[in-house]
Structure 1
Amino acid sequence: MVLPGLALPDDIDALKAMILSMAREQAASEARIAVAEVRIAASEAEVARLKAVEKSANERIANLTSILKVLQRTQHGTRSERLRLAIDDEQASFAFEEVETGLSEIRSELDRAVGNKPKRAPRPRKGFAAHLERIEEVVEPEIPGDCEGLEKVLIGEDRSERLDVVPPKFRVIVTRRPKYAFRGRDGVVQALAPAQIVESGLPTERLLAYIAVSKYADGLPLYRQEAIYLRDGVEISRSLMAQWMGHLGFELQMLADYILERVKEGERVFADETTLPTLAPGSGKTTKAWLWAYARDDRPYGGTSPPMVAYRFEDSRGADCVARHLAGFSGMLQVDGYSAYTNLVKARAKAGSNETIRLAGCWAHLRRKFYDLHISGVSQ
């Protein structure tokens, strides 16, 4: 078959060369088609793999989202929902952390699956606190062989910061008190032993503070601290640490009383109370106790006194507790609608006391009443 418009040479050798050239072009075209088919098959396989990854990720995201909604109902839902779910704050916080970890893992998996996706523009990173120690590490490049012996000229640098931590480590403080005797003189001279919170005890004041902050500020029970310290080969039983906390509490009682007195010196005090589950000795069960908080913060009103909060632990929520705590206080008391505070004001007025208290209501508690009326449909 002769292609239309194609002039065939009369020379046989030229005709053979033309046929060979056309055969090579056809073979090259078939090779390109085969490569394209392989790439299409690979692309289809990659699309199927990405769809499988996306399906798995969507299922996990849906599961985590449902868990998140349950947790949100425990915090923001109606009281009946919160009671049915029976999840405490520690469990909810742990679950929220697990959800965040799961979502981050899914995002990393999707990033690895996409592989060569275009990188997004870097977002400005919030700098770390200025008081943190900075340790600079300079990573020098390898000098190419053809640059050996030439003078280096610094024309710039890239700088990045990462957050690091030095885990706490145990150490032993060895205190030596030499004894001296003098020739020609009777007696021995030796320095007095330094004062300790736990007399003749094992812990330093720094260790006591670390255990107390971990337990009361960070919510780390003593039995967990016992297991953590054991990883460093330090055996401290929780019963022993409990005794140490008792000694520390006794020494800090004076400071707690001082803070409460300073709080009551203010013109206005914020008071509130909350339940605190407490282990009943010998029963293995918890009972309901109460933690009373009294705060003073005069900064919004032009005051220069530092903000402070005083806490008091009580076995009850009775009016005698607040009367005992606020003895000697005169001024404005901002509280919720609990009757113990109202009874305190009435009792002082009836007794003709010079220590007068004016109650200030809480807008947040008042707003709840309007919200209840709104959702019940009677706020028209």
Structure 2
Amino acid sequence: MDLADTDLPDDIDALKALVRAHAASAHANAQRVAELQDQLSSRTIEIEHLKLTIAKLRRMQFGRKSEKLERQIEQLELRLEDLQTDEGAAAQTDAKKTQPRRESTGRKSLPDHLEREERVHLPIDEHCPGCGGALKPLGEDVSDQLEYVRAHFRVIRHRRPKFACSCCDCIVQAAAASRPIDRGLPGPALLAHIATSKFAYHIPFYRQSVMYARDGVEIEPGTMGHWLGSVTWLLNPLVDAVRRHALGGAKVHGDDTPLPVLAPGNGRTKTGRLWVYVRDDRPSGSPEAPAVWFAYTPDRRGE
């Protein structure tokens, strides 16, 4: 803390006491800085160790023990997320006074396809605050900030006006727009979102129902299941085309993964198999597109 000359006491003993107090305060601050640096260093070492362990487990996760290793990887990633969260919180605590500046990790540039919005921030005063003179441009500082626009529902109302001929009373009306489900409520984007959430992000229907209810849209889990079941025939031609291309390569890589499946009637689960067939000749210089085809069988015979 800076003190003016008028704030300093005239007594020598009081001046010595003031100097000792400032020295003790500076020493305490230095110790605090050292402790925070030690904590940051220890946390950084643990984060790097976790990253190496996760990378090692990922290289080992192919084989009979893959499910067990995947669970271990998930637990380590959760721990890594906690440590990185603590690191971020520590960096915000006394950032200007006690935390050392982190070196740049080579941040990747944002993809070009993202929507961009420019905001120009002009000075409050149009004239020089020092002398009142006119201001002229002298370059600019540009920085990017990544933002997220929350997904939202939209109601599309289709109106088909009817027209009647004044001569012959013929009624003319445009044909109804095509829908994924005949006379169904959901649009194609909603169906794609529900399917992706369930099968790619493993969000079951009942959780999606809760998420949509927060926006005031009530969709029963059974309704979503019926919707996806109703549009499976739309995807069959695409699945068949992927299957023919994936299995038509000179080299096809295949593997199976066991997964528990409910056994109707006895309240237990049985072991089904999810088969994956991969065609990818890009490492050999082939220009043919890679493809992956999945198939499910109730047992390991693969029929």
Is 1:173 the equivalent of 2:153?
no
| In 1, Cα distance between equivalents of 2:48 and 2:117 | 41
Q: How far apart are 1:106 and its partner, in Å?
A: 3.8
Q: Distance in 1 between matches of 2:255 and 2:262?
A: 22
2:187 corresponds to: 204
TM-score by length of 2: 0.78
Alignment partners' CA distance in 1, 2:104 and 2:45 = 29
1:302 equivalent in structure 2: 285
**1:282, distance to aligned residue in structure 2 (A):** 5.6
Tell whether 2:114 aligns with 1:132: yes
CA distance in 2, matches of 1:271, 1:137: 51
In the alignment, residue 253 of structure 2 is paired with which amino acid?
Answer: F
Identity %: 32
Tell me the residue number matched to 1:105.
86
Residue 166 and residue 242 in structure 1: after superposition, are their counterparts in 2 closer, same or farther (change >3 A)?
Answer: same
Alignment of 1:217-366 (within 5 A): 217-281=200-264, 285-318=268-301, 321=303
Specify the structure having the higher radius of gyration (Cα). 1
CA gap of 1:232–1:318, structure 2 versus 1, over 3 A, is: same
The change in CA–CA distance for 1:265 and 1:65 in structure 2 (over 3 A counts) is: closer
Q: 1:261 to 1:75 in 2, by over 3 A?
A: closer
* Structure 2 counterparts to residues 45-124 of structure 1, below 5 A: 45-46=28-29, 89=70, 92-93=73-74, 96-106=77-87, 108-109=89-90, 112-113=93-94, 115-117=96-98, 118-120=100-102, 122=104, 124=106
Query: Which residue in the other structure is 2:147 paired with?
Result: 164
* CA 63–298 in structure 1, closer or farther in 2 if over 3 Å, else same: closer
Q: Distance in 1 between matches of 2:117 and 2:95?
A: 36
Deviates more, 1:199-208 or 1:185-194: 185-194
What one-letter code is carried by the residue in structure 2 that aligns with 1:310?
W
Does the 8 Å CA contact 1:74/1:87 hold for their aligned counterparts? Answer: no
In the aligned structure 1, how far is the partner of 2:280 from the partner of 2:53? 36
Q: 1:227 aligns to what SS in structure 2?
A: helix
SS of structure 2 residue aligned to 1:212: helix
User: Residue 4 of structure 2 corresponds to which residue in structure 1?
Assistant: none
Displacement of 1:206:
1.0
Alpha-carbon RMSD across the aligned residues, in angstroms, is: 3.8
Cα pair 1:53 1:113 within 8 Å, conserved: no
Query: Partner amino acid for 1:104?
Result: T
Q: Which has the higher helix share?
A: 1
- Change over 3 Å in CA distance of 1:138–1:167 after alignment to 2: same
Secondary structure of 1:166's aligned partner:
coil
Change (3 A) 1:51 1:173: same
How has the CA–CA distance of structure 1 residues 266 and 106 changed in structure 2, closer, same or farther, with 3 Å as cutoff? closer
TM-aligned CA deviation for residue 38 of structure 1: 0.8
Distance 1:231 1:33, change over 3 A: same
Tell me the equivalent position of 1:141: 123
> Conserved in 2, the CA contact under 8 Å of 1:50 and 1:113?
no
Asked if the contact 1:269–1:294 (Cα under 8 Å) also holds between the matched residues in 2, the reply is yes
Separation in 2, partners of 1:286, 1:74: 28
CA distance in 1, matches of 2:33, 2:214: 43
The AA in structure 2 aligned to 1:318 is R
Task: Determine if contact 1:212/1:245 at 8 Å carries over to the other structure.
Answer: yes
**1:198–1:247 CA contact under 8 A, matched in 2:** yes
Question: After superposition, what is the alpha-carbon deviation per residue over 1:31-74, rounded to whole angstroms, capped at 9, x for unaligned?
Answer: 43112211233245446656876898899999999999998998
Residue 42 of structure 1 aligns with which residue? 25
What 5-or-longer segments of structure 1 have no aligned partner? Answer: 1-25, 322-380
Judge conservation of contact 1:270–1:296 (CA < 8 Å) in 2.
Answer: yes
How many corresponding residue pairs?
A: 290
1:377 maps to which residue?
none
Gaps of 5+ in 2: 1-8
Report the alpha carbon displacement of residue 233 of structure 1 after superposing the two structures with TM: 0.8
CA distance in 1, matches of 2:52, 2:231: 42
CA-to-partner distance for each residue in 1:234-267, whole Å, 9 max, x for gaps?
A: 1111111111111222221121112111223222
Question: 2:249 and 2:54 mapped to 1: Cα distance?
Answer: 39
Distance 1:90 1:242 in 2: 28
Judging changes above 3 Å, is the alpha-carbon distance between structure 1 residues 309 and 124 closer, same or farther for their aligned structure 2 residues? Answer: closer
The one-letter code sitting in structure 1 at the alignment partner of 2:207 is R
Equivalent position amino acid for 2:153 in 1? F
1:169 Cα shift?
A: 0.6
Name which of structure 1's ranges 285-294 and 37-46 shifts more when overlaid on structure 2.
37-46
Looking at structure 2, the residues matched to 241 and 88 of structure 1 have their Cα atoms a distance apart, in angstroms, of: 33
